[in-house]
Copies of this chain bind each other. A is one copy, B any other.
């Protein structure tokens, strides 16, 4: 740890399982003994043994992950920059095609809705990032149900109300928000764009919405907070560590930095298997290697999700609520509540609210959508505790599947304070950086203005339960399988025939 820096050449000699050094952000680390403990497996580290691993490391790890997890004596100090051999990045044909698509993406003016961002992102994002962001649990029924559930709620608009001025602003946990939405926490932002979560911070400031900072951000927590404007409100999403001391440090640090709400994730005692993400791994790697790896019977290939989550405590329970109250004054909200019984328990435990959510369909497949749980929770908490919603003291939020302001307004009508939106913003900045997020928020504002007018609701408070028909919300219908022999025999009707001109 002397003043003289290590040379790249010296580092390069430690390139084996027996002695494995890597360079991250200009510092050298001896990870030899850590190889077998690496949640992402030893293989990916060995690929960079003796080399600069920063480019691979950055989007998947919080910046301080390596310094936190590795004992001090393994921090070997800085490397002489010029002496490090560049890791040659192979540009594949697929990469080239992708970059060409990036160049030819539609201009933002042509992006008319949040779907468009997804469409563009699917084409211009690195496959690995797309696989990580877009994937969900098992057969991905729940991720799609999240969106589909909104289609079972229909509007009952009112007419002849003066809607010259409409105001779609609201308050979330007492803080102003320009719309009844917030940017919910999503991990690994740098997979999509080098500025990662900062894109969200900046756009949130510009548009007056609240950002929820994720535990698994690829920018550091402080970096994100530092990039906020004065007075800008931010929340923190928390995965609770098996080591409560770590959690306590994170929470109290957040509070000291001005975080206004703590959203404790309760739907992820173990991070879900997302097969698209896992599948992508195989496609990206040498199949012969994969085959060999597989032959030892150890599963090292569960995609990005597992690589980053082994610290999460599956032992978290209601008993921990009191402890949280003892370490912070921030409002505590449970994120990932999935039935009214637990909403009731959260209320009875004196919490500030719940996010009715299934983690974007990424955890338990066939979990119901947040919007469906919202409806049952409002009913039961009214019946059993006399509460009405939206409720300032105990706030309900929903996330998952939202693409239009109409989706949000359905949730508001049913009693939600606000709705979290995640993936659409990821797709927006992955394709267009901060401008993309700004454009997405602009689109939402235009939609809110229009739809409040059309609903006959000048303000968010005027969006009441009678404005929606949600009577089919709990109908989970599966069509009887087709009688294909019959269907294929049936000849579909044809329209009048165009007379074909000979020279055509």
**Chain B neighbourhood of A163, CB < 8 A:** 269-270, 314-315
**Per-residue interface assignment for chain A, residues 443 to 458, with 1 indicating a CB less than 8 Å from any chain B CB and 0 otherwise:** 0001101110111000
Residues of B within 8 A of A269 (CB): 163, 453-454
> Are the C-beta atoms of B152 and A478 separated by less than 8 Å?
yes
Q: Judge if A134 is at the interface, Cβ distance under 8 Å.
A: yes
> Looking across the interface, which residue of chain B has its beta carbon closest to that of A276?
B493
Complex formed: what's the CA distance from A364 to B450 in Å? 8
Q: Does A476 contact B (CB under 8 A)?
A: yes
Q: Is A113 an interface residue (CB 8 A)?
A: yes
B147 touches A486 (CB 8 A): yes
Per-residue CB contact flags for chain A residues 99-110 toward chain B (1 = under 8 Å, else 0) read 011011111111
What is the total number of residues of chain A having a CB less than 8 Å from a CB of chain B? 129
Q: Give the CA-CA distance A474 to B473 in the complex, in Å.
A: 12
Selected from B109, B290, B480, the residue in CB contact (under 8 A) with A110 is B290
CB proximity of A320 to chain B, nearest CB, Å: 8
A440 to B440, CA, bound (A): 44
A483 to B341, CA, bound (A): 29
Q: Which residue on chain B has the smallest CB distance to residue A354?
A: B159
CB of A89 closer than 8 Å to a CB of B: no
Q: Decide: A495 and B485 in contact? CB cutoff 8 A.
A: yes
Please choose the segment from A26-34, A332-340, A387-395 that sits at the chain B interface, where 4 or more of its residues have CB less than 8 A away: A332-340
Residues 155-185 of chain A, each 1 if its beta carbon lies under 8 Å from chain B, else 0:
1111111111000000000000000000000
The answer to whether the Cβ of A111 comes within 8 Å of any Cβ in the partner chain is: yes
B338 lies within 8 A of A156 (CB) = yes
* Segment at the interface with B among A116-124, A197-205, A228-236, A252-260: A116-124
Q: Are A115 and B155 in contact (CB under 8 A)?
A: no
Interface pair B481/A145, CB less than 8 Å apart: yes
